[in-house]
Amino acid sequence: MTEPTRVDFYFDYLSPYAYFAAERLPELCARHGAELAYHPVLFAGLLNHWGQLGPAEIPAKALYTFRDAARWAALEGWPFRAPRFHPFVPLTALRLSLAEVARDEQARVVETLFRHGWGDGGDLGAASALGLALDAAGLDGSRLLERASGEAPKALLRAATDAAIARGVFGIPTVVTRGELVWGFDRMPHLELILSGNDPLTGRDLAPLASLGSAADRRSGSR
């Protein structure tokens, strides 16, 4: 029996686009008979590794991102409201979402926390608020918070972030499937092409299209 295609979903709760991806991916994967695997990662760790700023750290980009996300939500018919505080420290939410912590309830935990933050405008940084949101969804918030505490979940989240970096993940949301990396909610149509076997890059040699290398370095100050 052929194993189902696996779609690895890398996310952090800081991104509204990760919320949108979490809303879209279960149906998309089910339609293509693919297995969806959730991978919480620390966005700050990705940014630090690759030497980038996050959208919230650039005021003009932060404003654009919020308006763009609000437009996407309106078009898709999804509830949307920014979390109570943003940016926030997502560590507890991410640790709650680890497969080793959430176990068989992982998909429900991820869905609940995204909707709590980006659907209802809840606090995604406070453990007490997260526990109450999980309780309201019929999950055992206290037990999950207990599992998410201690050194083991911290180490697991660091390892998950390092593993994502090793696969070339540089932003969120990102999905990796069939050897292809797809970044951003607006690239879900590309994921559809890959899963349906209609990716126009399949079997194509892209080397003739690539540049010969860099002829300038912005960081050097040369013009």
- The band of 216, judged by pLDDT with boundaries at 50, 70 and 90, is confident
Q: What is the pLDDT of residue 210?
A: 87
Token pair in block for residue 116:
């709590």
d(CA 36, CA 30): 8
d(CA 75, CA 27): 18
Q: Which domains does the chain have, with CATH numbers?
A: 6-220 (3.40.30.10)
- The band of 123, judged by pLDDT with boundaries at 50, 70 and 90, is very high
pTM of the entire predicted model: 0.95
Task: Give the pLDDT confidence of 136-180 residue by residue, as tens digits.
Answer: 999 999 999 999 999 999 999 999 999 999 999 999 999 999 999
